[in-house]
Structure 1
Amino acid sequence: GINVRLFDRLEAHRWPTIAVVDGPALGGGCELAMACDLRVASTRARFAQPELNLGILAGAGANWRLAQLVGLAQARRMLYLGETLDAGAALAAGLVDAVHEPETVLDAVLAMVATIAERSWRALELTKLALRLHRPATSTFDMAAQSLLFESDDKRERMENFLNRRKR
């Protein structure tokens, strides 16, 4: 119970979250990382869902989050067969977004954070919400959110800055 609520709250947080994995992320550690918007791993990272070996379910959202991130076939291999992914395999499967050497992973994450911080927070928050919606609801939400954003001073300023840069 507690992990389900915690991971759902983390995923629903209004701002993007980034997991940094620098070692084993097994079971709950992997589930915690999957609840974040982005995952960055060091070359020392490895990922697995060993719960079935213990006679329990990877139940804190791992089943659907894993399938959503890596696809159903890879999720089945990790869950049914206990397959462990090293950092490179996790990147290839889509479980992590980037892999760096342990001594540079923090700098890489800070660069990602700086890039995200340059974005419009209002648009970022609405984009994050749109990504969580079920597909049929997305078009309606996208139109409403875009209407709201198109009227904002933030959008006007950013568009002007963009157009002024293109004129140079």
Structure 2
Amino acid sequence: MSEPVLVESDGRIAVLTLNRPETRNPISDPDMMEALLSTLARLDADPDIRAIILTGAGSAFSSGGNLNAMRPDVPGGLRASLPARTRMNYRTGIQRIPLAIEAMEVPVIAAVNGPAIGAGCDLACMCDIRIASETARFAESFVKVGIVPGDGGAWLLPQVVGFSKACEMALTGDMIDAKEALACGLVSKIVPPASLLDEARAMAERIAANPGHAVRMTRRLLRQSRVMDLPGILDLSAALQALAHATEDHDEALSAMLEKRKPSFKGR
């Protein structure tokens, strides 16, 4: 069987592809979860990586959960005959993904190439920026199969589209197309399918052009702002600003602006 996650890197930008096109890239299977988590951790720990693009192989971004593994006690499935075991399966399984992405410092761009369904929709919401192909579709569809968003979708989706739209999507389970996703802020751009990765890479290049430490710390502030009050964010901002002022890249940025030349950042 092929690798569940493929990675291509040019040194600054990594493209991470969910690689189970025959099953529409579900993220609930153990091999996919472990590969995704280990790859994200490795890329986040690499100081040279400035941005990550996440996409899916084939026609789908991600179908979310594997329906064939939703019966009790299926090997590798989350559902057990004992409810307490199911709870632990979620905690030690799919719930590790939103926690891992939340804790990262490298920005993640979702290049949504096709349907993003259930946990696949939530995976897109875990990312910092979402660019959609014209063929993309989104559905917070857990109620359609009689379950709730066990991967954190009830927290993730309202953060992106607001409470009312999140309620509409989660309570109906209905699918929306790329145009509606753009209108509600679920994605920031729609592009033709053939241009999707080029557009995502262009966005990644714009991020990667900035000093790496400043980008990572800015991403951390943006993430923390969703769970901290203003005094707490101001304290954290001051602490991270002290680190940013001490970098060589900050001095280089100032010099380049004053000398009206292009900066050369070294990641120091």
TM class, shorter-length = over 0.9
Matches within 5 A, 1:1-168: 1=90, 2-133=93-224, 134-136=227-229, 137-165=232-260
Sequence identity, in percent?
37
Q: Alpha-carbon deviation of 1:108? A: 0.5
**C-alpha separation in 1, matches of 2:103 and 2:188:** 19
Normalising by the residue count of structure 2, what TM-score does the alignment of the two structures yield?
0.59
**C-alpha separation in 2, matches of 1:159 and 1:45:** 41
3-state secondary structure, aligned to 2:111: strand
Structure 1 runs (4+) greater than 3 angstroms displaced: none
- Of stretches 12-21 and 63-72 in structure 1, the one that deviates more from structure 2 is 12-21
**C-alpha separation in 2, matches of 1:7 and 1:151:** 31
Aligned length: 166
**C-alpha separation in 2, matches of 1:65 and 1:7:** 9
RMSD between superposed Cα atoms in Å: 1.4
Normalized per residue, the structure richer in helix is 1
The structure with more radius of gyration: 2
Q: Alpha-carbon deviation of 1:121? A: 1.0
- 2:166 partner letter: A
**C-alpha separation in 2, matches of 1:14 and 1:144:** 16
Task: Structure 2 unaligned segments of length 5 or more: list them.
Answer: 1-89, 262-268
3-state secondary structure, aligned to 1:135: coil
Q: Alpha-carbon deviation of 1:109? A: 0.8
**C-alpha separation in 2, matches of 1:110 and 1:160:** 28
Normalising by the residue count of structure 1, what TM-score does the alignment of the two structures yield?
0.93
Contact kept? 1:8, 1:35, Cα under 8 Å: no
Tell me what 2:48 maps to: none
Q: Alpha-carbon deviation of 1:54? A: 1.3
Task: Structure 1 unaligned segments of length 5 or more: list them.
Answer: none
Q: Alpha-carbon deviation of 1:7? A: 2.5
Contact kept? 1:14, 1:125, Cα under 8 Å: yes
**C-alpha separation in 1, matches of 2:228 and 2:97:** 24
- 2:136 partner letter: A
Q: Which has the higher contact order (CA 8 A, sep 6+)?
A: 1
Q: Alpha-carbon deviation of 1:104? A: 0.9
- 2:120 partner letter: G
**C-alpha separation in 1, matches of 2:99 and 2:130:** 16
